[in-house]
Amino acid sequence: MKTVKSIIPALAVAAVCMVSISETPAGTNETLSARQEKILPIAAFTANGNMPRLGTALGEGLDAGLTVNEIKEILIHTYAYAGFPRALNGINTFMAVLDKRKEHGINDKTGREATPVPADFDRTAYGHKVRNSLVDRDISKRTSGYPVFTPVIDQFLVEHLFADIFYRDVLNHQERELATIGTLAAMPGTEAQLKAHLRVAMNVGLCKAQLEDYVAVLRQKVSEESADRAAETLNDLLGIGAPANQARAVKVIGKGQPTKGPAAYFTGHVTVASRFSSEKPDGYRGGMVNFEAGARTAWHTHPFGQTLIVISGRGLVQSEGETVQKILPGDVVWIPADERHWHGAAPDSPMSHVAISAPRNGSTVEWLGHVTDEQYAN
């Protein structure tokens, strides 16, 4: 370690949102509720495998009123779109979050169980009924495409996904579609499926303002890449083309609302603001990090290293096994790839820096243990 001196186009829905599913009546809300918003990062971080950020999203979901069983159901639902390994990792992370909250005296509401499946349940009939109502047309007798080429996969979709899973009424169909579009937006290469499910989302009553909220939540809570993917796919669905000069236009990103650094990753009061990212997929990401006196990060690493540009105050930075170094305004700090380190404010001064790093598999950081008071004092 060395020390050296979109704006998204407005989304328009051309027609009034139609509701074709009796189990999920359209609401009159013009925005997503706090509970609905929390479904999106839980599904997205489960899908992209970012377990540290999933842990934070799970806690925020519980704090917003999601029950334990509702979050379990979100994680169960994601397996149909992201696979068992991701869903099981998410479930294990949720177990750890609940254990930690219990240690701190937090008793989260369990919530209702799913209605049992009746003994005479006809999965084929029910699955076709649900899928047809979701897409707002009868596709039970397809004559081309994957259902003809590989009929068994369509059978699994009908009998398991749209019957076994969708019959579970812990989540309604709107909530399941939010989990689905949150999952798909987090995974590159699923734009065709995302487009189809955005159409379904409108069919189950999610309208213009709620879809705008969906993109905004992804941008604020998940990543610029997932938000851009969602916005571009939705615009494609609605026939809204990008401006001809979009690629050449100057883009100004507003300061935005600062967010508090999670206690799992920081000691003391830390806020992050002015987040930014490269227009290139999987390019750099960054933001302004503000530390109050004595505040610091936990030990952590970055897959491709990190650059820090000190803006104000006085701070400290340390690689494991090396001495602590002081950093001042104008200093530029380079941390090598996979180098275990921490940084923060001096004990008697706040400090602000710009942090820039690049992601691997959607994640820019791996968080490790906290920096103890003894380590910080040394």
Question: Which secondary structure element, helix H or strand E, spans residue 312, and what is its range?
Answer: strand 306-313
Mean pLDDT, residues 308-314:
96
What per-residue confidence (pLDDT) applies to 97?
96
Mean pLDDT, residues 34-60:
95
Write out pLDDT tens, residues 62-80.
999 999 999 999 999 999 9
For residues 270 and 21, the model is more confident at: 270
How would residue 255 be classed by pLDDT, with cut points 50, 70 and 90? low
Tell whether the model's pLDDT for residue 342 goes beyond 90.
yes
Q: Taking Cα atoms as reference points, which of 74, 62, 146, 70 lies closest to residue 99? A: 62
What per-residue confidence (pLDDT) applies to 244?
46
Across 59-69, b (16+ Cβ under 10 Å) vs e yields bbbbeeebbeb
Tell whether the model's pLDDT for residue 22 goes beyond 60.
no
Tell whether the model's pLDDT for residue 208 goes beyond 80.
no
Scanning the structure block, which residue is given the tokens 């941008």?
219
Tell whether the model's pLDDT for residue 245 goes beyond 70.
no
What per-residue confidence (pLDDT) applies to 315?
96
Percent of the chain at pLDDT > 70 equals 87
How would residue 242 be classed by pLDDT, with cut points 50, 70 and 90? low
Across 139-161, b (16+ Cβ under 10 Å) vs e yields eeeeeeeebeeeeeebeebbbeb
Write down the mean pLDDT value for the chain.
Answer: 87
E strand segments, 122-269:
259-260, 266-267
Structural domains in the chain, CATH included, are 34-115+168-238 (1.20.1290.10), 259-377 (2.60.120.10)
